[in-house]
Amino acid sequence: MKKNRIAFPQSRREFLLKSGRLISTIGAAATLAPFGTVNALAQGGDDYKAIVCIFNFGGNDANNMIVPMGANYAAYQKIRGSLALPEASLLSTPTAKGGAYGLHGSLAPIHPLYASKKLAFVANVGMLVRPLTRDQYRTGAVPAPNNLFSHSDQQQQWQNASPLTPASTGWAGRVADRVQGLNSPSNFPPAVAISGNSLQLIGQETRPTTIGGDNFGIAGNDRTVISDARQAGLQEMLKFDSGVVLFQAANRILSDAVAVSKLVEDATRGASALTTAFPSTGLGQQLAQVAKIIQVRQALGMKRQIFFVSQGGFDTHSAQLGMHAALMTELSQAMLAFYNATAEMGIADKVVTFTESEFNRTFQPNGNIGSDHAWGTHTLVLGGGVLGGDMYGSFPTHALQGPSDSGDRGNWIPTTSLDQYGATMAQWFGVNPLDLGLVFPNLTNFTQKTVGFLPGT
């Protein structure tokens, strides 16, 4: 940070002019802080925020992630049949209003964080164009998202928040577009996926990167005359413009790879390992990688970062119970380790981790002790700053062909839209409330813009 002292306030001003509006929570500190104070902030209570999306690919059976207990358990048990979890196996998570709910037993690692109010649930979230009733859906009176129940389409819609038309940018990328000035003059991408590409992170200007595991770097760069010449040639040739679209696209990504690997290599040189241990699972290792990048945020010059990690295998059409339990174990162990790592770094209250999944699964099981593609789902939100220990949104009515069911197998019509869910994160992260509609075009169709599980929303 020291080398950026002089450039920092100047670029900050540029950012404020460019964006036109002050971002209330950070603008004051930025403009008023003397240089030394900025640095002190960076050392301790630094101006830093990160949001981390865990995408459960395949359609998480959230019906078994958060289960009604007590009086409402019977309806659950009756319809869920072969998929019903025993009530005794559930981990009690009463809501502030006194609702009786319980977590899947395999979420035991994060269960205590509910009591300590770091963990919250959001009930029945999903893709919506605008609020919708069963009748409106069945008659088509109110538009519903395209291609509900299709994995690929719903995965895209959860990421681009565009349920009716294809969109090439994602909502988190559009969030990054609006806060990236805070990261100036860092060249490091504000949005980072750990495994694979993520539509969610692509912005109008934000070009996300993907930083995988230990193989992230250029082999054979040993700083000899020969390797320097090779590297220079590589970089030089990536600038060639043949006018061929796919060459240009590949050059862009290859150039990013070369540039980002250099930044990461420089920033992580000499960094000491976190003491928090991460599980050796796929998700555990992805979140470990996120923690490593957050750890060197100051060396990278980053104040706002968005991460995307994923967990697959949720498409449990058959033999679901065991598989789903294993997935819940992997999820909760990884979330706990990551939370502990943010605590170790002293920034637990500056990092929010949340889940997404393209859809819930049919409440009614199929003949293979599995479930099929459905709609509205439940999500988890975890972080030191989360207003946890409570459920947000409204829980669906567990009745086939009931008011919550879009069809006849318990395909819940969402009551909280992805837009509202994401806008809550975006506002906390620093997006001006007046800009939220630019990030979530359909937010205008909802009276309540945010869900309230984060302070200031």
Partner 1 sequence: MRYCLHFFVSPRLLPALLLLSLTTASGQTPPITITLDPSPSGVRAGLKFDFNATVANTTNKAVKWLVNDVEGGNLTLGTISTLGLYQAPAKVYTTRVAIKVKSVADPTKFVSRGIDIWNPIAKITDVAPDDINQGHRTEIIVKGSLFVAGAKIYADRLPLSTTFVSDTELRTSLDTSAAPTTRLKVLVRNPEPESADSNYQEMLVLPPVVVTASPKTVNVRLSAKQDFNARVDNSRNRAVIWYVNGIKSGNATIGTIDEAGLYTAPAVLPAPTVEIKAVSAHDSTKSDTATVTLLHAIPVITTAPPSLKTGPNSFTIAGTGFAKTATVEFNGQPIPAVWVNSNRITLSGLIKPSLGGYGTLRVLNPAPGPANSAFFPIPVNPSKAVMTVEAASRFLEQASWGPTPESLNHLLEVGREAWLAEQFATPPSTYPDPLDTGQSLNGMQKRFFLNALTGPDQLRQRIAFALGQIFVVSGVELSQYWQMVSLQREFLAQAFGNYRSVMQSVTLSPTMGDYLDMVNNDKPNPAKGYVPNENYARETLQLFTLGLSNLSPAGARLPGTPYTEEDVKQLALAFTGWTYPPEPGFASRWTNRRYYIGPMVAFQDHHDTTNKMLLGKLLPGGRSAQADLDQALDVIFQHSNVGPFVALRLIQKLTTSNPSAAYITRVTDSFNASPRGDLKRVITAILLDPEAGTGPGGTLSSSQGHLREPVLFATTLVRALDAAVGPEPGLAPYTEWMGQRLFYSPSVFNYYSPLYRLPSSGVPAPEFQILNPTTALARINFVNSAAGNQLGGGIDIPVEHFEALAATPSVLVDAVSRALMRGTMKADMKAEITKAISVTDNPRWRVRIALYLTATQSRFQVQQ
Contacts with partner 1 in 190-209 (CB under 8 A)?
A: 193, 196-197, 199, 202, 209
Which positions from 3 through 42 interact with partner 1, judged by CB under 8 A?
none
85 binds partner 1 (CB under 8 A): no
- CA torsion angle for 210, 304, 264, 189 (degrees, to 10)? 50
Q: Residue 180 in contact with residue 301, Cβ under 8 Å?
A: no
Q: Rounded CA gap, 66 and 324, in Å?
A: 13
Decide: is 356 part of the binding site for partner 1 (CB under 8 A): no
53 binds partner 1 (CB under 8 A): no
From the list 46, 177, 330, 372, which residue makes contact with partner 1 (rule: CB under 8 A)?
Answer: 372
- Residue 346's alpha-carbon distances to 44, 46, 293, 295, 351, in angstroms, are 8, 10, 15, 10, 10
Nearer to partner 1, 44 or 367 (CB): 367
Cα–Cα nearest to 69, from 82, 54, 84: 84
Looking only at residues 391 through 430 of this chain, which bind partner 1 when binding is defined by CB under 8 A?
A: 407, 409
Q: How far is the CB of 275 from partner 1 (least distance, A)?
A: 26
Stretch touching partner 1 by CB under 8 A, among 10-18, 174-182, 249-257, 339-347: 249-257
Provide, rounded to whole angstroms, the least separation between the CB of residue 189 and partner 1.
Answer: 9
Task: Decide if residue 74 touches partner 1 (CB under 8 A).
Answer: no
233 binds partner 1, rule: CB under 8 A: yes
Nearer to partner 1, 96 or 226 (CB): 226
Token pair recorded at residue 422: 């994401």
| Site size for partner 1 (CB under 8 A) | 74
Cα–Cα–Cα angle for 404, 406, 409, nearest 5°?
A: 90
Q: Residues of 386-420 as b/e, b for ≥16 C-beta within 10 angstroms?
A: bbbbbbbbebbebebeeebbbbebbbbbbbbbbbb
For partner 1, the closer of residues 358 and 419 by Cβ is: 358
Q: Does residue 222 interact with partner 1 by CB under 8 A?
A: no
Which among 445, 416, 358 is positioned nearest to 124, based on CA atoms?
Answer: 416
* Residue 314 beta carbon to partner 1: minimum distance, rounded to whole angstroms: 10
Does 147 sit near partner 1 (CB under 8 A)?
yes
Q: Assess 136 for contact with partner 1 (CB under 8 A).
A: no
Q: Which of 249, 271, 277, 326 binds partner 1 (CB under 8 A)?
A: 249
Strand 119-126 relative to strand 377-382: parallel, antiparallel, unpaired?
Answer: antiparallel
Q: Does 279 bind partner 1 (CB under 8 A)?
A: no
Residues within window 282-341 making contact with partner 1, judged by CB under 8 A: 312-313, 315, 317-318
* Pairing of β 391-393 and β 377-382: unpaired
Q: Which residues, 155 to 184, sit near partner 1 by CB under 8 A?
A: 166, 168-169
Instruction: Name the segment binding partner 1 (CB under 8 A); options: 226-234, 273-281, 300-308, 381-389.
Output: 226-234
* Residue 432 backbone phi and psi in degrees, to 5: -55, 130
Across 432-441, b (16+ Cβ under 10 Å) vs e yields beebbeebbb
Per CB under 8 A, 126 contacts partner 1: no
Strands ordered across the beta sheet of 66-68: 66-68, 101-103, 91-92
Residue 343 within binding range of partner 1, rule CB under 8 A:
no
Query: How many other C-beta atoms lie within 10 A of the C-beta of residue 343?
Result: 15
Q: Tell me if 396 sits within 8 A of 378, measured CB to CB.
A: no
Measured from the CB atom, the residue of 98 and 367 that comes closer to partner 1 is: 367
Out of 164, 257, 345, 438, the only residue in the binding site for partner 1 (CB under 8 A) is: 257
> Among residues 406 and 450, whose Cβ is nearest to partner 1?
406
Among positions 57, 94, 134, 445, the unique one binding partner 1 when judged by CB under 8 A: 57
Rg (CA), the chain: 23
Residue closer to partner 1 (CB basis): 92 or 366:
366
* C-beta of residue 300 within 8 angstroms of C-beta of residue 46: no
Listed in order, strand segments (DSSP E) in 391-437 are 391-393, 416-417
Considering beta carbons, is residue 84 or 100 the nearer one to partner 1?
A: 84
Shortest reach from residue 211's CB to partner 1, in Å: 6
Residues 6+ apart with CB under 8 A from 96: 389, 390, 391
Contact between 271 and partner 1 per CB under 8 A = no
Cβ 448 vs Cβ 425: under 8 Å: no
Check binding of 58 to partner 1 (CB under 8 A). Answer: yes
The residue within the footprint of partner 1, chosen from 43, 139, 165, 215 (CB under 8 A), is 215
Which of 117, 130, 134, 151 binds partner 1 (CB under 8 A)? It is: 151
Q: How far is the CB of 346 from partner 1 (least distance, A)?
A: 28
